[in-house]
Structure 1
Amino acid sequence: MGAHMRYGMNPHQAAEVTGGPAALNGEPSMINYLDALNASALVREADAATGLPAAASFKHVSPAGAAVAGKIDDVASETWRVHDDGGLISAYVRARDADPKSSFGDVVALSRPVDTATAEFLRSVICDAVIAPGYEEGAVALLSGKRGGRFLVFEADAGGAAAPGAPRAARRGARAGPGCRRRRDRAAGRSARRRRPPRCAAGHDRRPVHPVELRRAGACRCRDRHRAGQQNRVDCVRLAGAKARVWWLRRHAFVCELPEVAGMRRQDRLNWQIRFAGAEMTRAQRAEFAELFGAEASDRYADAGWRDAWCADLAGVTLVSDGFLPFRDNVDHAAEYGVATIVEPGGSTRTDEVVAAAAEHGITHVQTGLRLFRH
């Protein structure tokens, strides 16, 4: 008999769970479980592929951002008030900072046990749940007090399975509705048996994929091991490119040095910085922005020149797709956002055109030979 969940996909639907990660605090819904399971699988595989602590920020069963531990740049350090260049906190800060607007109220997945410092940091940001393969003494107690005691704390199996005794095939469903069953994907960075290994293609030149390129591969777009994912092809490229552009523009002095507004919360300031950087304000927001930050900032918002000049230096971006790129327009758009490497399964009827387009733009093109859809 399965354990009762708060609700299924939606509040009016009932559901139960058999197996799954242990809920150490809070009453999860089915979506909470799915977020936790998928996020945990992602960070576990990223950790195994890179040997570094990994973190993901999940919303609605998709990553808003994912990253491995490493140096936190000055802008992210100032934003999140964190100075950590290689620990577990750094992985999550880098993941959340990839798209902090989308990460609001996320499920946090961590590939290593949560220490008290990480637990304290999670208490300071707006998130709804965390899943990790363990917790240091005192960490669960710290987290359990968040959100009035409703904060969800999941424990994944440290051995690698989604939960102790969980079957190798993942299953999900709800009462009065069909369930579905699927085999889990093999770990990222490893080809399935009898699959050809990933290879780079630039014109007719092919070579084995360099480990650094595999280390970067993990979702739709990444730079400096930061990732943010989306769900379709050419629109995905354009939208992910826009997110990469905003991430880069947030490093511009005009954005970083917006005047401080007394009493403004961190997330509200972040949202204004993102709107300012991406030039995505409504008329009403522009009036409010001018009132909050002054006429000089308002004038800069209307000037696109500084944005274009700054983004001319955006480079070294990696574009990764779980399905093949069907047309060369994906590559043409990618080139406009500083993409240097494309990783995709290949095998489209027009893959030769995609390869040729990559060569024209000087982009390294990697064909993995392995589709990795996950629904």
Structure 2
Amino acid sequence: MKELELKYGCNPNQKPAKVYMESGELPFTVLNGKPGYINLLDAMNSWQLVRELKAATGLPAAASFKHVSPAGAAVAVPLSNVLEKVYFVEGALLSPIATAYIRARGADRMSSYGDFVALSDECDAQTASFLKREVSDGIIAPSYSAEALEILKTKRKGSYLVIQMDPDYQPAPIETKQVFGVTFSQQRNDVKIGEECLMDIATQAKDFPAAAKRDLLIALITLKYTQSNSVCYTYDGQAIGIGAGQQSRVHCTRLAGGKADRWFLRQSPQVLNLPFKDDVRRPDRDNAIDVYIGDEWEDLLETDDWKRVFTEKPPVFTAEEKKAWLKKAAHDVCLGSDAFFPFGDNIERAHKSGVQYVAQTGGSIRDDNVIETADKYGMTMAMTHIRLFHH
């Protein structure tokens, strides 16, 4: 197929809409559902991300996309018992691709609500079963087992979007797009991200353990397909906080750092022991946990709204308790940036979320201040000399 009509463009009033190839066939096949414009933008970006993660790490990879930026990205690193509980998969013997998907979805479950999923490897029945119970718009993968496809075809009353990508497809080196009737053309961003990007270490500390190298590559490849400005915190084989599309880099760092903090706080005893009612759905649990961790909880306690989800009133998770848990749990975190850090304030904020390893472009006139700040906290920081803006 060379051309595919879409439901509409970015918004329902933007009709007609289609995707097409200047030459050759479309590199994907729609196996179920009807794609929209944003669906396919998410599909094409997320597929590139998981393909590159698999190539860089050798591990099956998954991504959860919303509005053309990842909410989560991960590779198949086994889950701890605590993460199994946090991700609602206690006791399950997970396949590698299911592990990657569970991690990607669990990075930021609030943002992943209604996501588009990408898998680097064949979607198996287990992954499809987990996906079926989540609120999601579609999936792209290189192949599907027969059982997985049947499961996915039952999702969303049979309308769930399932796309099969040709894993051998290679796009033309020059890409174009139109904005306000003006055509833009550029070399496709085919820069390869590997461990060689981490060779120029500017700080006094020089050590990058193998896990840190893996997680920094995850951060950088994730940023390559995140709307800029962007910053990504990674830990244990997955993104734990992504700050996308901010005009100020320190705001990216704060936004992503806040998400990383919430990821760690979700693993605290206070959250793990919340007395949920048995019939409370996962999205409602996610919302309740987000409120409980945040600053709104004490206000909620003044009403009876907590009774909708809890069997009894949970105690307040105090600021002191949160700080103590983060000090205990958040350590050896990795941080990537899609461009240079202009000031040391980014490093100061990163330190609060347990960052120990950093990869950033370098080249700021204040590099000395950024390096000095990293040295103050004993961080290891590499200058990649690669900018990863994505628009």
TM over 0.5: yes
Preserved CA contact (<8 Å) 1:197 1:369: no
Determine helix, strand or coil for the equivalent of 1:353.
helix
CA distance in 1, matches of 2:158, 2:181: 31
How has the CA–CA distance of structure 1 residues 185 and 356 changed in structure 2, closer, same or farther, with 3 Å as cutoff?
Answer: same
CA distance in 2, matches of 1:350, 1:357: 11
Q: Deviations over 1:322-366 (max 9, x none)?
A: 111111100111111100011101011111211111001111111
Preserved CA contact (<8 Å) 1:20 1:33: no
* Aligned match of 1:189: 194
Which one of the candidate residues 328, 333, 336 is aligned to 1:320?
A: 336
Q: Does 1:309 align with 2:324?
A: yes
CA distance in 2, matches of 1:57, 1:120: 16
Preserved CA contact (<8 Å) 1:169 1:184: no
Q: Does 1:230 align with 2:246?
A: no
Determine helix, strand or coil for the equivalent of 2:369.
helix
Q: Compute the displacement of 1:160 (Å).
A: 5.2
Q: Does 1:16 align with 2:14?
A: no
Letter matched to residue 322 of structure 2? R
* RMSD after superposition: 2.4
Q: Does 1:275 align with 2:260?
A: no
Determine helix, strand or coil for the equivalent of 2:274.
coil
Q: Compute the displacement of 1:206 (Å).
A: 6.1
CA distance in 1, matches of 2:191, 2:99: 26
CA distance in 2, matches of 1:370, 1:347: 10
Q: Deviations over 1:51-100 (max 9, x none)?
A: 00000000001010100001122233234225245610100111111100
Letter matched to residue 202 of structure 1? T
CA distance in 2, matches of 1:173, 1:150: 30
Preserved CA contact (<8 Å) 1:76 1:93: no
Q: Does 1:31 align with 2:32?
A: no
How has the CA–CA distance of structure 1 residues 170 and 129 changed in structure 2, closer, same or farther, with 3 Å as cutoff?
Answer: farther
CA distance in 2, matches of 1:307, 1:197: 33
Q: Does 1:329 align with 2:353?
A: no
Preserved CA contact (<8 Å) 2:3 2:19: yes
Determine helix, strand or coil for the equivalent of 2:277.
coil
Structure 1 window deviating more from structure 2 (126-135 vs 282-291): it is: 282-291
* Unmatched 5+ stretches in structure 2: 21-25, 220-231
Letter matched to residue 185 of structure 1? D
CA distance in 1, matches of 2:369, 2:70: 30
* Aligned match of 1:291: 307
Q: Does 1:47 align with 2:62?
A: no
Q: Compute the displacement of 1:145 (Å).
A: 1.9
CA distance in 2, matches of 1:248, 1:26: 36
Preserved CA contact (<8 Å) 1:113 1:136: yes
Which one of the candidate residues 251, 255, 275 is aligned to 1:239?
A: 255
Determine helix, strand or coil for the equivalent of 1:37.
helix
* Aligned match of 1:66: 73
Letter matched to residue 64 of structure 1? A
Per the normalisation by structure 2, the TM-score is 0.85
How has the CA–CA distance of structure 1 residues 242 and 254 changed in structure 2, closer, same or farther, with 3 Å as cutoff?
Answer: same
* Aligned match of 2:97: 88
Q: Compute the displacement of 1:295 (Å).
A: 6.5
Letter matched to residue 221 of structure 1? Y
Counterparts of 1:96-107 in structure 2, within 5 Å, are: 96-107=105-116
* Unmatched 5+ stretches in structure 1: none
Across the two proteins, how many residue pairs are aligned to each other?
Answer: 362
* Aligned match of 1:265: 281
Determine helix, strand or coil for the equivalent of 2:316.
helix
CA distance in 2, matches of 1:45, 1:2: 26
Which one of the candidate residues 114, 119, 125 is aligned to 1:110?
A: 119
* Aligned match of 1:121: 130
Preserved CA contact (<8 Å) 1:221 1:319: yes
* Aligned match of 1:5: 6
CA distance in 2, matches of 1:42, 1:286: 45
Q: Compute the displacement of 1:171 (Å).
A: 4.2
Counterparts of 1:204-215 in structure 2, within 5 Å, are: 212-215=211-214
How has the CA–CA distance of structure 1 residues 181 and 349 changed in structure 2, closer, same or farther, with 3 Å as cutoff?
Answer: same
Determine helix, strand or coil for the equivalent of 2:102.
helix
Per the normalisation by structure 1, the TM-score is 0.89
How has the CA–CA distance of structure 1 residues 84 and 179 changed in structure 2, closer, same or farther, with 3 Å as cutoff?
Answer: farther
Q: Does 1:221 align with 2:233?
A: yes
Percent sequence identity over aligned pairs: 38
How has the CA–CA distance of structure 1 residues 116 and 155 changed in structure 2, closer, same or farther, with 3 Å as cutoff?
Answer: same
How has the CA–CA distance of structure 1 residues 371 and 280 changed in structure 2, closer, same or farther, with 3 Å as cutoff?
Answer: farther
Q: Compute the displacement of 1:251 (Å).
A: 0.7
CA distance in 1, matches of 2:77, 2:4: 38
